[in-house]
Amino acid sequence: MKPEDLINMTRLALSGEESDVRLFAAQLVRKYRKTDPKTASQLEDLLKSAPTRSSSVLRKQNINTDTFQVTSISDPQINGLLKYEFSTPIERPLLSTSIEQSFMQVTAEHRRVEILQKKGLKPTSSIIFKGPPGVGKTISARWLANELDLPFYILDLTSVMSSLLGKTGNNLRAVIDFAKSHPCVLFLDEIDAIAKRRNDESDVGELKRLVTVMLQEIENWPACGLLIAATNHPDLVDPAIWRRFDLEIQFSQPTETQLKQAVNEFLGDDAADFAPWMEEILSRLKGSSFSDVKRLVSSLRKLRLINPNRFESTMLEKLVPDLGLLSRAERINMAVDWVRKFDMPILRAAKMFSVSRDTIRKSI
């Protein structure tokens, strides 16, 4: 081993950042595999046998949300890798029965690794999530990690790809080595970012290498961990890549029943107070994603707390659907409805739905 590697390793060890030590060790394994295979394999064994200590060794970043803390891995080699730590119980995603069943099987397989391995079987260790934005890919990955009691890391490939492309391959390798060095869930978000750059002629060679890295790594993912990749644009991802995942899960926009369930769940203990507006809320949310539901519902709940007196009218304004999507007859019906049901002044209803006051008066 070269003296500078020893010095670097000592420096990292003294700084007490365990994740950096692991990361650097994983790089050394790769570096010395050819020239000094004995040292490389000893190092590799060490990495595999030593359990990760508490994650407090990771440098904290000033991002703090309700449910988890985010830390960024402090090695400059690794751009964009975030570690999420769960502090309070995390939200359980609303899922279709078939996705829920798949998830239950995955967690059961991981809990029974020994039984599977006796028969030469390996638990599901790579999954690809496909589907539009805001339907639960990220929170499902987080939820799975939590169920499996494993640390959770997110690598957003758009941020990696926007850094110098020449470095992306090394970056991706470093992240993958790091994730493979201990049991964890690695979430590769927006893997289509790799494919999107394919049009750029100058990048072709580098992109091919990246795709090769991905292909090799997906298949050899350790049984004790889980690699999850997500994409909003499955058509952009090389089919050779997604065929190698053990499991493919298609996420879809919520159905009407799921929308209703989501609204009720997000309303929490305010559900009874919002019951009179349920129909309007649901009609406003037609075709929306779960994250749109979450956004609208939180905004309405806050509005009610901040502005209890003018709540009803301000809320109705928020619930006006996209008028472009409504026919004139539908607009008239809604205007009339809101005047009747919520005592909205006719003038206001007329303005809101772009119909004349007379039309509303006539229909009441």
Q: Is 94 in the site for ligand ADP (CB under 6 A)?
A: yes
Token look-up 């957003």 returns 156
In the Cβ-directed half-sphere of 306, how many Cα atoms lie within 13 Å?
A: 8
Which does residue 234 touch among ligand ADP, Mg ion, none (CB within 5 to 8 A, set by kind)? none
Q: Which of 48, 209, 294, 357 binds ligand ADP (CB under 6 A)?
A: 294
Between 24 and 129, name the residue whose CB sits nearer to ligand ADP. Answer: 129
**Which residue of the chain is nearest ligand ADP when measured via CB?**
136
d(CA 21, CA 10): 9
CA 262 from centre of chain: 18
Q: Which stretch binds ligand ADP (CB under 6 A): 70-78, 87-95, 145-153, 338-346?
A: 87-95
Q: Which two tokens stand for residue 12?
A: 């990292």
Out of 130, 137, 173, 182, which residue is the one contacting ligand ADP (CB under 6 A)? 137
Strands (E), the chain: 60-64, 68-72, 81-86, 126-130, 152-156, 185-189, 226-231, 247-250
Q: Which of 291, 313, 359, 363 binds ligand ADP (CB under 6 A)?
A: 291
Judged by CB under 6 A, does residue 134 bind ligand ADP?
yes
17 contacts 53 by C-beta, under 8 angstroms: no
* Distances, alpha carbon 305 to alpha carbons 192, 302, 310, in Å: 41, 5, 11
Q: State the nearest-atom distance from the C-beta of 180 to Mg ion, in Å.
A: 23
In whole angstroms, give the CA distance from residue 160 to residue 4: 27
In the bound state with Mg ion, the residue whose beta carbon lies nearer, of 30 and 196, is 196
110-118, 135-143, 153-161, 199-207 -> range binding ligand ADP (CB under 6 A): 135-143
Question: Which two structure tokens, joined as six digits, stand for 142?
Answer: 């987080």
Instruction: Check binding of 264 to ligand ADP (CB under 6 A).
Output: no
Q: Which stretch binds ligand ADP (CB under 6 A): 9-17, 133-141, 150-158, 177-185?
A: 133-141
By the 8 A CB rule, do 165 and 203 touch? yes
Query: Does 289 contact Mg ion by CB under 5 A?
Result: no
User: 123 vs 134, which CB is nearer to ligand ADP?
Assistant: 134
Tell me: does residue 234 bind ligand ADP (CB under 6 A): no
Residue 138 near ligand ADP by CB under 6 A: yes
Which region, judged by CB under 5 A, interacts with Mg ion, from 129-137, 280-288, 301-309, 342-350? 129-137
Q: Is 155 in the site for ligand ADP (CB under 6 A)?
A: no
Partner that binds at residue 297, options Mg ion, ligand ADP, none, CB closer than 5 to 8 Å by kind: none
Q: Which is nearer to ligand ADP, 19 or 138 (CB)?
A: 138
Half-sphere exposure of 18 (CA within 13 A, CB side): 12
Candidate residues 43, 135, 316, 335; the one interacting with ligand ADP per rule CB under 6 A: 135
DSSP string, 187-239: EEE-THHHHHGGG-GGGHHHHHHHHHHHHHHHHT--TTSEEEEEES-GGGS-H
4 phi and psi, to 5 degrees? Answer: -65, -30
Q: Which of 138, 168, 231, 288 binds Mg ion (CB under 5 A)?
A: 138
Instruction: Report the residue number, 154 or 360, with the smaller CB distance to Mg ion.
Output: 154
Nearest to 139 by CA among 57, 68, 235, 58: 68
Binding residue (CB under 6 A) for ligand ADP from 1, 9, 116, 139: 139
Q: Both tokens of residue 136?
A: 């639960």
Residue with nearest beta carbon to Mg ion: 138
Residues of 317-329 as b/e, b for ≥16 C-beta within 10 angstroms?
Answer: eebebeeeebeee
Which residues lie near ligand ADP (CB under 6 A)?
A: 93-95, 133-139, 262, 290-291, 294
